[in-house]
Structure 1
């Protein structure tokens, strides 16, 4: 049996004055719970903020200064009563300018995410959804039955519904041209579970695309870090 997990990737660092933050609101010694999309170790708070700027699903962050852990959240708290006390963590929300980052000026390699160093230089960091799932003793989800596909879509629409969302799943295109799940089972490229018009040659990675309540599998280039769904054996 598997459970399904949706992963949505002390004081402030001295070099980062509050006036230079990319966000307009923060609550010291507080964090937002039950909203985690992705987490990683970063060099400083500014790098944490930059990750949020670059990820479409990010609505806020928890930055833990003690070990420089950045929590990317898929939702935000609307008042101080929505967060919990956590010493050494700063809750940050409300972007000032969504596009003010040098990451907009260039691209990173496959399986990398763009971050910023010292406000002007770009840094490419490793991003591997498959490895993140493996680290939790799981795998990227395999939607190999109609019932499982429908249940996951229903859960996503109820909890994360929006005009358009993408969630990486455990399918890929082989050198032979066949699409396969991570367990080796072949995926029918003309089957009913693909989003209309797909696969269309965009790439060798696969996501579950939801657009205006229409859903289906979609091929993409692997270059853009997106939300992903893990399933863990229990």
Structure 2
């Protein structure tokens, strides 16, 4: 008989809840961490850490893999979908708590119905991003379908409060990147329309889209020029 598992570390309450859920999953299928690791791309130690709690929230791919290898044979597709969504909700809350405790302070965001100015819009977008688990900018761009509406550099400017979406379509792409379900987007759309008016169509919108894309290209080009200059300087000094 194996040793009893150590108690869950409760330094982060929401991470402890995630760990408890993962342990319940493992116990439900009567598997050891080694058993799960044989079916997962992650090691026994990584899976065990994910179910230990503490001050570090495991990466989502680790939690996702843990869920995939801990399904009971009797689980239906619906059961699997619901349990995975529950795990993601727990993970997002744990990540939110961790970043809230360890990151720089940020002002509280108003509820959507009380958004009054552009600073409030920026605040609610940052709050939405944080509640989505603070995905990487690459993830944001990929979730927005890669159609050029939300380049990673633009997403970064939005989540760091340096810019707002330039159009309703880019705003909607940001919602998609934060995985806001379709049925929950109406209050967000209403907020945008109240602040900036109905979605614009025609030449002005195209001009703004082209300007944003040009800005992103300029940022990438500037980065390339800086790297080339540094390389030339190093070669000259050699």
TM-score by length of 2: 0.27
TM-score by length of 1: 0.27
Structure richer in strand, relative to its length: 1
Q: Tell me: higher relative CO, structure 1 or 2? Use CA pairs within 8 A at least 6 residues apart.
A: 1
